[in-house]
Structure 1
Amino acid sequence: MLIKSYEDLENIRQKARVALEQYDMRILVCAGTGCVANGSLKIYEKLKKMISEKGLLAEIELVKEVSHEGIGVNISGCHGFCQMGPLVRFEPSGLLYVKVKEEDVEEIVNTTVIGNGVVERLLYVNPKTGEKITTQDENPFYKRQVRVTLRYCGRINPEDIYDYIAHRGYRAIAKVLNNMTPQDVINEVTESGLRGRGGGGFPTGRKWSFAAASPGTKKYIICNGDEGDPGAFMDRSVMEGNPHSVIEGMMIAGYAIGADEGYIYARAEYPLAIQRMRKAITDAEAIGLLGNNILGSNFNFKIHIKEGAGAFVCGEETALIASIEGQRGMPRPRPPFPAVKGLWGCPTVINNVETLANLRYIINNGAALFKSYGTNHSAGTKTFALAGQIQNTGLVEVPMGITLREIVFDIGGGLREGKKYKAVQIGGPSGGCLTEEKLDLPLDYDELIKAGAMIGSGGLVVMGDDTCMVETAKFFMSFVQNESCGKCVPCREGTKQMLALLTKITEGKGTEEDLVVLEELAHSVKDGSLCGLGKTAPNPVLTTLRYFRDEYIAHVRDKKCPAGACQALKEYYIDPEKCKGCTLCSRVCPAGAITGEKKQPHEINVELCLKCGTCAEKCKFGAISTR
């Protein structure tokens, strides 16, 4: 069925809405990457099978003239609450089950589907109050969120274009094509205050203005889905959970700047996201929402997918363009900027997944509503991937300007296992560490830069008091050093030398002079590198030196790791009160560093000890510890 006009689109929407409303119940099984890895597709198939056997299953064909009474069972995208997956949501009640297993399906069908009851043991339990939470909206993880980009992730079937259309999908591009000029669209996006969600935070409307003003009959839109920060999975979840929102965003951007072609650049490590994006493109083409004369207008647009090989540097605009062109992904000096001379020499706008997914909301609801969230200079909402030593890992979307304290302790539930908060690494390898003193800092682009960090794409790794900040800086430096393309000397050689110094320090061989050299190197790399990777690579080092210098001093002056995390600085000892003289430790020690008589307390020769930890692992009496 081809959609050739705004009226056709509205007719299809009405049919799909009516069909959805006929269901007695709709069950949505999370089929994001995390839940799929934990067996959610088996849960989905078993639910369908058991409900079908009871004669209650209503197959979802949203635009066909058939009755849909019964139970609809469908997959959805990521719900965000990854810590508690697999997740199963029930509509229209909003009931949410967590940590569901395949063996729970029979009880779910008998108790909830047939009996309209609740399986109490599958409800989320608030660890602070012990209260069982029945619905998703009452869950403290979701309660403080404002979901704009993620609004329909977890609530629609990402593989059904009609489900997207039923939820106002493609209405924004229809509004644009029917009622707005390209300049109107640019003005609306500019007025909204939307800034790039990929890291730099450049104003989206301004970027579009440059490209629109650039001469040329051929222009391109590129969706940057090359999400490479450790611990980040925001863009992946949007592409998996609501791929059509990305397509619609690209179309809006294309219309605004005069582009008729776009590329989605996604890393090959995201097979599910790529699979769903491909299907979404094919389905949109099949019903006329991509191609020529879209919705009866003179606007043409087609989209290709380019799979990246996973190079972190290809998140940088010019390196990404080189990769699409079939060249090695290496940045080039700017200007000229891509908006003037980009893909194959043509004016090109590059926006990341989250930026594009915001556009339908802005066009449908107006710039003022979008600006009502966030701060004066950082409007709207931002998705963050919570990871590390936090109770509730997962994907959250919050208004810009929210404090770190609210994210970590209200939404994230605080640190797990009784750990004490130490820091958050925000923005991935390009970001920096924020200490306890920064917990009430509003999270927006400008405030974070002042604190020596950056929002980046939105990775947020929470660290407890047993985390070594020197080791953390070393981890991120190792990452960026491996990912450096090697084109410019400051990044290629500077990160290598910084990593060598950090390794030396964590091995207990560093000096106070090394700290001076490390800091000087960090500033040199920051100032002299060609692209954003090199310019931001020193951020984790600079912020840990700024906020945790005492830990660096302890490593170089006292040869101690205050967190007890650096293996080379651990000193193993045997507690004579606990040691039974069983001799097991001396028998497993590869260095022969443990001596003592049978049934008498043993001792460790620290000069011979390899610090491998084997003795502590094998000791049955807990007599061996580190200090």
Structure 2
Amino acid sequence: MKEKLAKPKVDHQPDRPRVIVGMGTCGIAAGAKKVWEAISQEIRRQNLDVEVRQTGCLGMCHREVLVEVRIPGQPKVIYGNISPESVKRIVQEHLVEGRIVKDLVVGMEAEKGTLLEGMPLLEENPFWSKQLRLVTRNCGIIDPDSIDDYLKAGGYQSLRRVLAEYTPEEVIAEVKNSGLRGRGGGGFPTGIKWESTRNAVGDRKYVICNADEGDPGAFMDRSILEGDPHAVIEGMIIAAYAVGARDGYIYIRAEYPLAVHRLMRAIDQARERNFLGDNILGSGFNFHLYIKQGAGAFVCGEETALIASIEGNRGMPRPRPPFPATKGLWDRPTNINNVETYANIPVIFRIGASEFASIGTEQSKGTKVFAVTGKVKKTGLVEVPMGITLREIIFDICGGIKDDKKFKAVQIGGPSGGCLPEQHLDLPVDYDSLISAGAMMGSGGLVVLDENTCMVELARYFLQFTRNESCGKCTPCREGLKRLLEILNRIVNGKGEKGDLDRLITLGSVIINTSLCGLGQSAPNPVLSTIRYFRSEYEMHIEKKFCPAGVCKDLTTYRIIEEKCKACSICLKHCPAGAITGEKRTPHRIDPEKCARCGICLEKCPFEAIVRA
């Protein structure tokens, strides 16, 4: 099954040599534009008959810039960490002389029998071996600006089949049978949501794609839109047919200019090929799709606030019920799903609901895309079957903790998620298991933390974010988060008081139970989960006025152990505050009055002579 699902049918054997550069945001940030220019110039200089194309993010953000070489009749080769300086080697050795540049290879895609001795097979790379790419099946494979590439990969076949063979009710039944749950964070059954919109009374209905991805460290939706925009569009068209909508909106933050550009181009191409517009594919079904760019307010990820923003009002949530399915955009029935949810729809109708439902766990079907960041060796985008453990994602796929430091916790579910410690590394990743452990799936952000992370400061950081993003409409969120933050600020500044932990727990619980929308209802989660699993760290901050991680400056001092000091003066030279003094062959000292508590001396000392006091 994995072989069939993981590999889209694209033109792996072009009629002439082809070089493909990863041009997602991660690739561009790593220098992909300069690599593209260098490749193009070198090919022109040597007068080679080679096509240069682009693709989206393959997921291996830690190996960008990625360059793929396809030569007719030969295995596909992917090179990583490419710079303009290494381009000449690839062009000369691979394209001209026919020799693979082995030291730059990430992997090859070919039958095992055709591999060169010692060359790595891409699918056997630990980063890929436990992944199952359904939603991201085309990302890093096709040119996102080419509808023809999408069609060659089987694009819009699900839509053709739906319009020719299914009634709207049968479409909804198939989605319900697949077990697909919304990937935006709540995990509500997608088919039931569609059915509610279908059955709602209204002279006009809408479908909306929530692409307002605002979690720190999250880039799942952005990468899908940049790498395979037509998949999302196809899913939305099928949803519109099922619920009876004629118009749809993609609500995307303006901070995603590349995704916006590729979406606009994809919508224009879909209109030209009659996948959008009137009488789609001769079926009599009409559907028009528009883009609405948001201003980057985190609260607009909440569906009623998002609706208000599309309507031209300030993005603020409203009480529910009524739910958008019955009274949404302009008070009409509206279906809202996020990018990843819609991108799953063509897959379901390509492989069938029963096969889709066979992936994952009993209550969480299919796969989940995660953006893995933080203190991990291999950052990137991974798509895994539901039910995989956190240990498999962090250590098997992403290579473990950076610099081989000790794992401390993982923040899962974005700024409103929870922090899970080592004891939960073997927890299956599904909606219900994470909630029972005090976390949540969220949209898919996964931040890995090492031994040098202060959990109190981390909770304060995320709470600062949600406090700033609160719209202020309801009192529990507006005032409650402010008070929570005041307590945390006091603790990290060395002014924590006895009883602060009880105050945090009580106030956090009240905010969760009384806030108007999902922002306030989940914002205290990082605080409550870190108290639950790292209570002793809070107690050290409050009672001993000491930060064991050395992060909170007001609770950290440094001293030099005279017996270990070699008087090398390395710490003295690097101290930005001039707080270290000492002569040659004489143990140095740190003046606590001058010390800026930056920790550079601890980092630079090669003899472990400096410790936190």
1:20 deviates by: 6.9
CA contact (8 A) 2:63 2:80 kept: yes
Does residue 27 of structure 2 align to residue 35 of structure 1? yes
Counterpart residue number, 1:81: 60
CA contact (8 A) 2:102 2:119 kept: no
Q: Which amino acid aligns with 1:72?
A: E
Work out the CA distance in 2 between the residues paired with 1:214 and 1:417: 55
Against the structure 1 CA distance between its residues 540 and 614, is the aligned structure 2 distance closer, same or farther, given a 3 Å change threshold? closer
Alpha-carbon RMSD: 2.5
1:603 deviates by: 4.1
Does residue 457 of structure 2 align to residue 476 of structure 1? no
Counterpart residue number, 2:84: 102
> Structure 2 matches for 1:178-217, cutoff 5 A?
178-217=164-203
Counterpart residue number, 1:93: 75
> Structure 2 matches for 1:372-383, cutoff 5 A?
372-383=358-369
Q: Which amino acid aligns with 1:98?
A: G
1:346 deviates by: 0.8
Against the structure 1 CA distance between its residues 307 and 18, is the aligned structure 2 distance closer, same or farther, given a 3 Å change threshold? closer
1:516 deviates by: 0.9
Counterpart residue number, 1:122: 104
Aligned equivalent of 1:314, options 276, 279, 300: 300
> Structure 2 matches for 1:593-608, cutoff 5 A?
601=587, 603-604=589-590, 606=592
Counterpart residue number, 1:359: 345
Against the structure 1 CA distance between its residues 622 and 207, is the aligned structure 2 distance closer, same or farther, given a 3 Å change threshold? same
Q: Which amino acid aligns with 1:36?
A: I
Matched length = 592
Work out the CA distance in 1 between the residues paired with 2:227 and 2:478: 37
CA contact (8 A) 2:130 2:397 kept: yes
CA contact (8 A) 1:290 1:302 kept: yes
Against the structure 1 CA distance between its residues 132 and 564, is the aligned structure 2 distance closer, same or farther, given a 3 Å change threshold? farther
1:110 deviates by: 1.8
TM-score (norm 1): 0.89
> Structure 2 matches for 1:160-309, cutoff 5 A?
160-309=146-295
CA contact (8 A) 1:244 1:280 kept: yes
Q: Which amino acid aligns with 2:421?
A: T
Q: Which amino acid aligns with 1:288?
A: N
CA contact (8 A) 1:94 1:136 kept: no
1:285 deviates by: 1.3
1:471 deviates by: 1.0
Work out the CA distance in 2 between the residues paired with 1:617 and 1:442: 36
Against the structure 1 CA distance between its residues 588 and 384, is the aligned structure 2 distance closer, same or farther, given a 3 Å change threshold? closer
1:585 deviates by: 5.3
1:136 deviates by: 2.5
Amino-acid identity (%): 55
CA contact (8 A) 1:39 1:86 kept: yes
Aligned equivalent of 2:129, options 143, 158, 163: 143
SS of alignment partner, residue 76 of structure 2: coil
Q: Which amino acid aligns with 2:55?
A: S
Work out the CA distance in 1 between the residues paired with 2:35 and 2:579: 53
Query: Which whole-Å deviations, capped at 9, do the CAs of 1:172-213 have from their partners, x for residues lacking one?
Result: 111111111000100000000000001000000000000000
1:278 deviates by: 0.6
Against the structure 1 CA distance between its residues 363 and 582, is the aligned structure 2 distance closer, same or farther, given a 3 Å change threshold? closer
Query: Which whole-Å deviations, capped at 9, do the CAs of 1:548-572 have from their partners, x for residues lacking one?
Result: 1111111111111122222111112
Counterpart residue number, 1:23: 15
Could you tell me which runs of 5 or more consecutive residues in structure 2 were left unpaired when the two chains were aligned. 1-8, 108-116
SS of alignment partner, residue 124 of structure 2: coil
Work out the CA distance in 2 between the residues paired with 1:436 and 1:213: 46
1:607 deviates by: 6.0
Aligned equivalent of 1:508, options 476, 494, 501: 494
Against the structure 1 CA distance between its residues 614 and 122, is the aligned structure 2 distance closer, same or farther, given a 3 Å change threshold? closer
CA contact (8 A) 1:220 1:346 kept: yes
CA contact (8 A) 2:55 2:142 kept: yes
Counterpart residue number, 1:443: 429
Work out the CA distance in 2 between the residues paired with 1:619 and 1:145: 41
1:283 deviates by: 1.3
Counterpart residue number, 1:611: 597
Could you tell me which runs of 5 or more consecutive residues in structure 1 were left unpaired when the two chains were aligned. 1-16, 58-70, 126-130
1:124 deviates by: 3.6
Work out the CA distance in 2 between the residues paired with 1:18 and 1:621: 56
Against the structure 1 CA distance between its residues 466 and 620, is the aligned structure 2 distance closer, same or farther, given a 3 Å change threshold? closer
Query: Which whole-Å deviations, capped at 9, do the CAs of 1:246-288 have from their partners, x for residues lacking one?
Result: 1101100000000011101111111100010011111111222
Work out the CA distance in 1 between the residues paired with 2:460 and 2:449: 15
Counterpart residue number, 2:114: none
